[in-house]
Amino acid sequence: MPRSVLVLYNPEKPAVADALAHVRELVNAHGRVVAELETDNLPIHPDQARGADLIVVLGGDGTLMSQSRRCVHLGLPMLGVNLGKLGFMAEFDLESLRPQAPSLFDGSPLMVQDRPMLRVTVHNPDGSPCNAHAPLERTLALNDAVITAGPPYRMISVAVTIDGARGPTITGDGLIVCTPIGSTAYNASAGGPIVSPDVEAMVFTPLAAQSLSFRPVVVSSRSTIALAVDRVNEDHPEGHAGTSLVLDGQVVGRLHAGQHVLIRQHARPVRFVRNPQVTYWGTLLNKMKWAPPPPPRRRQPLPPPPPPRQERAMTAKFQDYYQLLSLSRSASSDDIQKSYRTLARKYHPDLNKESGAEQSFKAINEAYEVLKDDKKRALYDRLGENWKHGQEFRPHPGSNGPSRSNRTRPPRAARSTPGPNFSTSDSADFSEFFESIFGPGGFSTSADDDFASAGRANPRSRPRQRQGQTHEAQLTLSLADLARPATHRISLSADNAAPRAYDVRIPPGVTDGSVIRLPGQGAPGSSGAPAGDLLLTIKVTPDPRFRIDELNKHDLHTVVPIAPWQAALGGKATVPTLDGDITLTIPPGSQPAQKLRIRGRGLPKKSGDPGDLFAELRITIPRTLSPDERVAYEALAKASNPDPSPA
């Protein structure tokens, strides 16, 4: 008999629409699709899977893991089609699914294997359960249950009891309890053993235990592990989470000193459809890279000997300042300024991204700095084009050249220095400019420092360029600012300097703790080096209406109070969003702490697509009852099942 298939697909996976159409075609060719649902963390009602005898999950291992918790109560076999990277548990992909589709969907027997799950409950010191009203999927784990220390990452203490017998007390960063199928995940990276999924066992592995003698332990799957949390890291006042309970990588709650965590095997396993062409050990070898052989050792040829060192004269190609600015030597000051502005705009690095534009821009600025000043321009006209080569001075053809009366140092003294060394009576204003070209000592204004100049004229003694320091600041934004990215004007001051205004564009995807870099807006560099950057760390002001999701910071959570009769019968409730209040439909039979996903009402992601808003239902019990309400509640108590525990 052809199979009836319920298809669950992860809308966050790339190309999921094409994959969904492909799977729909394969299933309908040999069976039929009864329903297609997006994956989320809400349990599937039996009515949604009515008539289905197989579940196909499109996504990665994480999707298959979350849907196992969501669907285990249905008892249906699950077939994972991998759209992610690894594909350890999701053994099929689109390529291998097509040739096997007839035998998978026409009613032929399937290769199905049961995989155990963990049931995790938290109890207060008095023994009362903390998560008694939590949805079932919030207490199940397919891979592992982890107690992690959390910020500020001080060591915690967890006392272990197995089947009522007192075990060790672990002092460290936490503890992992995993199933055999989860032994290749966090457990393996923490040094725990890899256990075949056919073995009925549980493994608990310490995280960075203080004792060097503590080793991972394998116990029977029928055991009950009790973990007494003796010392924890409490929640930080700034909102950082402390010691937490994590199931399959998802934080499900905080842990406090004195609480107990009970871990046992869940009564119902999840049923996975196996790929006949895939083996567990082959997956370990090929995908987990289990014990890869060392690469073959190859003899590397010896590098050739370095070429003999050759001394080369340091020469620089002269660039005439008038030619750089496309001017004649008789150009006026207005002509110089007009030509500079035209060329500077043409070669400015922010406007011209071509190779060499930045070097041309610097050369144009250097020429303009000399020619715009009458004294510097007259000196340049007298020195001629050979002054950069370090040769004996020869006047430029057509120029008058420096008179012998202006020389305060004999030519012999000038030739004794490694580089050019000129001196004039009116050159004091230009020493800093020429030092930037020749280095310290390349140009002197007095004959008294001949020996000092000669000792400093080596090009290696030029001032070193240092990039400016990076400045850091904090930018406080509201959730509304993140929801509607825009440009914000801020004012900052550094080192008691005058405040400076910045226009900061808030891009999509920015969340609490994100860092925005403003290149070149930090401290200025030295000796022509570029300025540093300005780093702005985003701090989001708390909003009493919303809470940012700890794992996906683009999702928001809000608490929606409802009355008991609304939870039982269904109804309408007002839910706040960043864009204003909306009306939410409450389904009948809603449970305390149940979360309803409102798509597209979260914070924008980098792609521009918005995250989601999760409305957490909180059932409010009236403190006082009117006579009519009391009569109604008493009638409800008589008509209801006396055992309120979930089935």
Task: Evaluate if residue 553 carries a pLDDT over 90.
Answer: no
pLDDT higher for 319 or 190? 190
Contacts of 448 (CB under 8 A, 6+ apart): none
Helix axis angle for 94-105 and 16-30, nearest 10°, is 20
Domains 321-461 and 471-540 share a fold: no
61 annotated active-site: yes
CATH 2.60.260.20 assigned to domain 471-540? The reply is yes
**Adjacent-strand bridge partners of 332:** none
Strand 32-38 to 225-231 pairing? unpaired
pLDDT confidence tier of residue 411, bands split at 50, 70 and 90: very low
What is the rounded CA–CA span in Å between residue 453 and residue 409? Answer: 12
Please give the pLDDT value at position 418.
Answer: 43
Residue-by-residue DSSP string for 189-240: HTTPPP--TTS-EEEEEEES-S-TT---EEEETT--EEEEEEE--PPPTTS-
Contact call for residues 578 and 594 (beta carbons, < 8 A): no
Contact call for residues 116 and 94 (beta carbons, < 8 A): no
What is the rounded CA–CA span in Å between residue 407 and residue 319? Answer: 26
CATH 1.10.287.110 assigned to domain 321-461? The reply is yes
Task: Evaluate if residue 407 carries a pLDDT over 90.
Answer: no
Please give the pLDDT value at position 241.
Answer: 67
CATH 3.40.50.10330 assigned to domain 4-115? The reply is yes
Task: Evaluate if residue 105 carries a pLDDT over 90.
Answer: yes
Please give the pLDDT value at position 135.
Answer: 64
Write the pLDDT tens digit of every residue in 476-527: 888 888 888 788 888 877 666 677 888 888 888 888 888 888 888 888 888 8
Q: pLDDT averaged over the chain?
A: 79
Please give the pLDDT value at position 394.
Answer: 42
pLDDT confidence tier of residue 470, bands split at 50, 70 and 90: confident
What is the rounded CA–CA span in Å between residue 67 and residue 55? Answer: 10
pLDDT higher for 417 or 35? 35
Write the pLDDT tens digit of every residue in 372-401: 888 777 777 776 554 344 333 444 444 444
Indicate which residue of 61, 173, 248, 549 is catalytic.
Answer: 61
Angle at 179 between CA 177 and CA 181, to 5 degrees: 135
What is the rounded CA–CA span in Å between residue 46 and residue 25? Answer: 25
Task: Evaluate if residue 41 carries a pLDDT over 80.
Answer: no
What is the rounded CA–CA span in Å between residue 100 and residue 94? Answer: 10
* CATH superfamily of this structure's domain 547-636: Urease metallochaperone UreE, N-terminal domain (2.60.260.20)
pLDDT confidence tier of residue 297, bands split at 50, 70 and 90: low
pLDDT higher for 249 or 387? 249
> In three state form, how does the secondary structure of 434-498 look?
HHHHHCCCCECCCHHHHHHHHHHCCHHHCCCCECCCCEEEEEEECHHHHHCCCEEEEEECCCCCC
What is the rounded CA–CA span in Å between residue 338 and residue 537? Answer: 42
Dihedral sign for Cα atoms in the order 247, 253, 254, 256: negative
pLDDT higher for 72 or 389? 72
Q: What is the mean pLDDT of residues 318-338?
A: 84
Please give the pLDDT value at position 331.
Answer: 87
Contact call for residues 442 and 421 (beta carbons, < 8 A): yes
Please give the pLDDT value at position 318.
Answer: 56
What is the rounded CA–CA span in Å between residue 618 and residue 560? Answer: 6
pLDDT confidence tier of residue 227, bands split at 50, 70 and 90: very high
pLDDT higher for 315 or 361? 361
Helix axis angle for 333-347 and 357-371, nearest 10°, is 160
Q: What is the mean pLDDT of residues 73-77?
A: 91
What is the rounded CA–CA span in Å between residue 398 and residue 340? Answer: 25
* CATH superfamily of this structure's domain 118-268: Probable inorganic polyphosphate/atp-NAD kinase; domain 2 (2.60.200.30)
Domain boundaries, the chain: 4-115, 118-268, 321-461, 471-540, 547-636
Task: Evaluate if residue 177 carries a pLDDT over 60.
Answer: yes
